[in-house]
Amino acid sequence: MDVQPEESQAARVLYPQAVTVEDFTRNLAAVRARIAAACQRVGRDPAEVRLLPVSKTVDEAHIRLSYAAGCRMLGENKVQEAFGKWQAMADLPDLRWSVIGHLQSNKARRVAQFAAEFQALDRLRIARALDRHLQAEGREMDVYVQVNTSGEASKYGLHPDDVSSFVAELPAFKSLRVRGLMTLALLSSDEERVRACFVLLRTLRDRLRQEAPPGLAMDGLSMGMSGDFELAVEEGATVVRVGQAIYGARALPDSYYWPASPG
Ligand SMILES: *Cc1c(COP(=O)(O)O)cnc(C)c1O
């Protein structure tokens, strides 16, 4: 999937770079207001929706400005990048990190060292590796199970039909606190097709809630990004992962983060 130059041009106009604390304060308030408006349209309480700012590609100086504006947990797509930032900003002990991108099992140890949350769990091999390393560290971690709701081969995540049996295995991993499901919707301007991805994730969650093993809280729905978070909130999102609408457009195309073929 190649992103066309016009697309990044459009993103730069839509999402100007935030360069001061005031920019971040304003952008965060604007996103929260849009979340609140989406909640109001469907009779939800905005307190049910957590805004997770996504700081991938953003440098330390700008992350510190967003911290000054109130950000206390940040989403990162790549483990090495996230780990480096965690180390560099160890002087901010209440700044926590959520890994939201695909994980290779040889990186599980790293993630177990520093992340508060992992949102892209889609293989038992990873669950096993994370659990083992977390036990060794004496830590626990919140996890979301990633589901491929768009049917695109380029997206990671479990096929919707495989989610139920996967979740049934998770209570064995005592250091993983399973919080719910996560998805990336179709990248499309066709609202109804994007919405269908969110509806699918919510429907799966509702079904899992009924059959989930005791002690497993499957309430969370992590869905929605800068381009589609209002639709996601209307369809029940409890976490929205928003990068560009807070930090500004990214220089790198999204294809850098979501490679064409899962490996
Ligand atoms: C980058 C990313 C986001 C945020 O995307 P924006 O367009 O910056 O809002 C959300 N989720 C995942 C998994 C990402 O990699």
Atom of ligand 1 nearest to the CA of 56: 1
In angstroms, what is the span from residue 45 Cα to ligand 1's centroid?
A: 24
Please answer whether residues 210 and 226 qualify as being in contact, where contact means their C-beta atoms are separated by less than 8 angstroms.
no
Per-residue pLDDT of the chain in tens (263 residues, 90 and over written 9): 445 556 667 777 889 999 999 999 999 999 999 999 999 999 999 999 999 999 999 999 999 999 999 999 999 999 999 999 999 999 999 999 999 999 999 999 999 999 999 999 999 999 999 999 999 999 999 999 999 999 998 889 999 999 999 999 999 999 999 999 999 999 999 999 999 999 999 999 999 998 877 777 789 999 999 999 999 999 999 999 999 999 999 976 666 666 554 43
Judged by phi (left if over 0) then psi (alpha if -120 to 50, else beta), residue 33 lies in alpha
Atom of ligand 1 nearest to the CA of 254: 1
Q: Summarize pLDDT for 155-188 with one digit per residue, the tens.
A: 899 999 999 999 999 999 999 999 999 999 999 9
CA 219, 108, 146: angle at the middle one, nearest 5?
30
Rg (CA), the chain: 18
Alpha helices, H only, the chain: 5-14, 21-42, 60-68, 79-88, 108-114, 124-137, 163-169, 191-211, 229-234, 244-247
In angstroms, what is the span from residue 193 Cα to ligand 1's centroid?
A: 18
Please indicate whether residue 100, judged by its CB atom, sits closer than 6 Å to ligand 1: yes
Picking from 229, 249, 253, the residue whose alpha carbon sits closest to that of residue 241 is 229
Neighbours of 241 (CB within 10 A): 24
163 SS3 class: helix
In angstroms, what is the span from residue 171 Cα to ligand 1's centroid?
A: 28
Report the distance separating Cα 221 and Cα 73, nearest Å. 17
Give residues with Cβ within 8 angstroms of 123, minimum separation 6.
105
Entry pTM: 0.93
Please give the pLDDT value at position 259. Answer: 58
The 3-state secondary structure of 113-149, one letter per residue: HHCCEEEEECCHHHHHHHHHHHHHHCCCEEEEEEECC
Please indicate whether residue 74, judged by its CB atom, sits closer than 6 Å to ligand 1: no
Nearest CA to ligand 1 atom 11: 241
Please give the pLDDT value at position 257. Answer: 64
In angstroms, what is the span from residue 225 Cα to ligand 1's centroid?
A: 6
In angstroms, what is the span from residue 230 Cα to ligand 1's centroid?
A: 14
Q: Summarize pLDDT for 97-124 with one digit per residue, the tens.
A: 999 999 999 999 999 999 999 999 999 9
Report the distance separating Cα 111 and Cα 103, nearest Å. 9
164-187 core/surface letters (b: 16 or more CB in 10 A; e: else): eebbeebeebebbebbbbbbbbbb
